[in-house]
Every structure is written in structure tokens, then in C-alpha cells.
Amino acid sequence: MSEIYSENSNYLLQNRYLQKNDDGKVIESPKQLFKRVAKAVSAAEKNWDNTININYWEDIFYTMMSELVFLPNSPTLMNAGSKQQQLSACFVLPIFDSMKSIHDTYEHAKIIQTTGGGIGFNFSKISPKNNYAYSLSKHLSGPISVMEDFNSLTNAVKINGRRRGANMAILDINHPDIEEFIDIKRKDGALSNFNLSISISDEFMQAVSQNDDWELIHPNYKYVVKQTNAKALWNKIIDSAWATGDPGVLFIDTINNDNPTIKLGQINATNPCGEVPLLPYESCNLGSLNLVKFLKLNKRFNEINWKKLEENIKYAVRFLDNVIEINQYISPEIKKATIANRKIGLGVMGWAELLILLEIPYDSDKAVTLGEKLMQFIQEKAMEASIELAKVRGVFPNWEKSIYAPNIPIRNATRTSIAPTGSISIIANTTSSIEPLFALAYQQNNILDEKSFTNININFIEALKKNNMYSDGIMQHIYEKGSAADLNEIPISIKNLYKTAIEIAPEWHLKHLLAPKLRDGLRI
């Protein structure tokens, strides 16, 4: 195998992504994987031009992936060119207050998780515990009980024998069972296969600021079940999030203010990690650019190769639009909703490593300013690429009902999204998404069942060696603490450059999240 793949990436590729025969033996190399995916995705080119040279696009897509410049989401890497060609990572499924709806959604979820997708659900239409169901006129056990059933499904279904699926459970802030939902993760093992988020309205935040009471309302019969204090409820959310990591919050009015297809209806859910708000039955295909691959040496210093970045943004948008075309959809509803809006999500990984190689501390105005410039560039070039595709392939079917009509003929309702890149950043051997360094050395767990990955920051080791500071003692400290903050012998300039997440003040994390100021539909 090529040296471009690290020990961790090789292990992950072998155990999750490379094709296996019926005996479980790996039957392809990483290069063959990328060849398989490139061949499958480039085949879509014939749908619009029978005279096109497919080999040209196959070579471009293969080079992007094999050189780790761009990687699509995991289902595309796993399934493209295989019998089960379900390629989407992100889904939102509706669920209503009836046994039929719950059953149908359950069956859809089973197939999606088997093929590698993650699912977001808003359970707010389910009648509260010990109350009457809207469509059955009898008692149901409430939304949390339904969530537990879906959680058990995820335990039972292992994706291609390689990993469990991911879910997002959402409940509206005015649901009568919201207080139980806020605290559910305080119970050991509860909803272990779900991220939790609360759908929060502007009206609720106003009630918090004014210390008003807040009404919890039956979702179907619309009567007030009880009242509580809005600020007390908000503090409860904060306490549980601090204690367990859940729940998160979705500012749903903000999401719908930027909904590019608002005429089709309100969005009420996102994919499992929250980066892709979707309408019911929509799916989305994601991919990420490895920012480190866009550096070039100018004299003695690195700088961003903007020309190369622009070129690969164009290729990546085309790649993701092709994925929509060759995708095998698990139901007519998902196919119809996905093709109607053709949403894609192009993001980035390696941001923290890029800053290190540019010698820019993460917690600096210079870093945030570069983030603004970089993401504005990616958003603008992704939009330009989608507009160019529309000239040949046509606008997305719901275009006339979108914010782009009548002046901006465009192929994809959304183009960009910042995903966590948990697995593909390991393959690319870089830092995940736009996050700062987690630690200079650490164990990464739960990527492949009980397998742990040992991570050591190679750039930090090279910086030590360059400054004649590398020693067993320093490395022992790094392995034990994960940080250089307590090492007096390390110069402050190196410490500042290699600060880990816990050393960086919270406001800097937020500044990086807010850096892409130009909005691209729902994607920031």
C-alpha cells in the first residue's frame, strides 16, 4: 500500500470500506476502492451527454480520492459500484402519531441503517406519555418509548457487519414530555445510539429573556397540558448538556429563515450530527475537501493554492451531483424528495492542521479572518459550479418554488455543509472538520467497535525535531497529558500553535463556527 495512507487509515479502510468476499476476506486495495467509486460515479456523465469521455471524469474523480484531496461520505465509499448502491449519508424521516406511521418509519430506518445512512427524526407529533393518541383514540407510551424502540433497532442492525447506524432524536420545546427528554441521557445507557436535540423557537427564547411562563401543549389536540418557567427549562437544558453532552439545540426559526425551498414546507429535523437540515424523506450526499492538500510552498512559507482549490471545488460539486443520479433509493418517497431538490453538502477537513502549517494559532483573529475568506471562497465557487451544471443538466425540479427563482438558474438547492468527518479524516490522516486539535496524543475509541486508534500529532514531533527539542521525556509527558501546556522547555510560539481544544477559550470555538458569514441556503 502507498505511504500516503497511515497505519490508522489502512486499518479503517480494511475493516470498513474495502470490499470483501463471502468468506470475509478483503478483495480490493485502497486504490481499487477509489477506482470502483470513480468508475461508478463517472458513469452518470452519460445521462446528459452520450458523446462525453467518461474515462476523463473517472480519472479526475479517482485522482481526487486516491490522493486524499477529496473524499465523499462513507456510504459512497462503501457502496458505489456494488450491488447495494445506496450512497447517501443523511436522511430525515417523518413520524406521526399512529402505529402505521411508526411501523413504516421503522422499516425505512432499518434499510437505511443497513446501507450506511444516518437518520434524523422529529418525534414531536407523538402524543405525550399517558395521554391519548391522535389517530387511535387510545393511550400510547409517549415519544421517548418510541425512541427506545428505534434505539434497539440500531443495536440490532449492524451496517454491512461494520458499524452501527447513527440517529438524531428531536423534540419540540413545547412538547409535554420535554422535561423527561432533557434528562434522559442522565440514565446510564439510555438512547445510546441517538444524539438528542431540542427544537427551539424564537418565541421560547423571548420567554427565557423575559422570565415568562411557557406552555407545554398537546401536539395533536392543541390544549395546554401544563405550564413551566421558560428560564428554568432553559437552565435544565444547560445542566443536562453540561453533564452528559445532550441535548443540543436546533434554533428552528433560524433554520427555516434560510430554508431555500420554504414554499415546500417547514423543516423540523436534521441528520444525526445536525449539519444538514432536511425536509421529510430528503437525503443528502456529503463530501469534504482536505484543506492541507491545497498548500504550496512560497519561498520558505506555506500559502493556500487558491487555483487548485477552485478547480477541485468544481470537480467535487460535479461528483456529488453525479452521486444523486446513480444512487439506489430505498423508497419512492426518498427518491422523489431527494431528486426534487438535489441537495449536496461540500465541506472541509484538516482546518486545524492547515492553520498549523501556515503557522497561525487557532485562537487568533488571523485564523478567523482566514476562515471567513476560505469559506466565502468555497461557497461562491460551489455556487458557480452548480450554476454551470444547470446550463447542461437543468435546474433542480423544485427550482421554481425556491429562493433562486427566477434569477439564479442552479442545479442544487444547497451546495455546502460542514460535516464532522470522523471517519474520512482518519483515512485522509488529518484533523477532523473545522475543529481544533483534540490532543497532541490520544486514543480514539468507538470508530470500529472496541478498536482504539492511537493518534500522535506528526507535525508537533517535526516541530520538536526542527528545534532540537525532541526527547523521550517530552514525548512521555505528551502521551500522558496530551498537551504541551505544562512543559516549560517548549517555546511559547510552539505552545500557541499546538494548543488543544481544552486550552482554547470557548469564544474562539464559536468564532470559527461563525466565520463563514455568507449563507448558502441552510449551509453556513
User: 167-192 b/e with 16+ CB inside 10 Å = b?
Assistant: bbbbbbbbbbbbbebbbbbeeeebbe
* C-alpha span between 449 and 163 (Å, rounded): 7
User: Of residues 273, 284, 312, 327, which has the active-site annotation?
Assistant: 273
Single out the residue of 394, 421, 270 nearest to residue 340, CA to CA. 394
Provide the β-strand partners of residue 92: 120
Instruction: Report cis status (omega within 30 of 0) of the bond before 406.
Output: yes
Which 3 state secondary structure label does DSSP give 87?
coil
How far is residue 489 from each of residues 232, 457, 484, measured CA to CA in Å?
48, 18, 9
Contact 218, 131 (CB under 8 A): yes
| DSSP character at residue 331 | S
Q: 284 an active-site residue?
A: no
Contact 471, 515 (CB under 8 A): no
Residue 267 Ramachandran class (φ > 0 left, ψ -120 to 50 alpha, else beta): beta
Q: Beta strands 118-122 and 167-172: pairing type?
A: parallel
* C-alpha span between 408 and 388 (Å, rounded): 11
Which 3 state secondary structure label does DSSP give 406?
coil
Which 3 state secondary structure label does DSSP give 108?
helix
Planar angle of CA 165, 169, 175, nearest 5 degrees: 165
Q: Beta strands 90-93 and 70-72: pairing type?
A: unpaired
Q: 107 an active-site residue?
A: no
Contact 487, 349 (CB under 8 A): no
Contact 265, 276 (CB under 8 A): no
Strands (E) across 331-426 are located at: 344-349
Contact 120, 269 (CB under 8 A): yes
* C-alpha span between 246 and 249 (Å, rounded): 9
Q: 275 an active-site residue?
A: yes
User: Of residues 259, 271, 429, 455, which has the active-site annotation?
Assistant: 271
Structure-block grid coordinates of residue 45: 456523465
User: Of residues 58, 275, 353, 435, which has the active-site annotation?
Assistant: 275
* C-alpha span between 104 and 119 (Å, rounded): 14
Structure-block grid coordinates of residue 90: 443523511
Q: Would you please indicate which residues are annotated as catalytic (active-site) residues?
A: 271, 273, 275
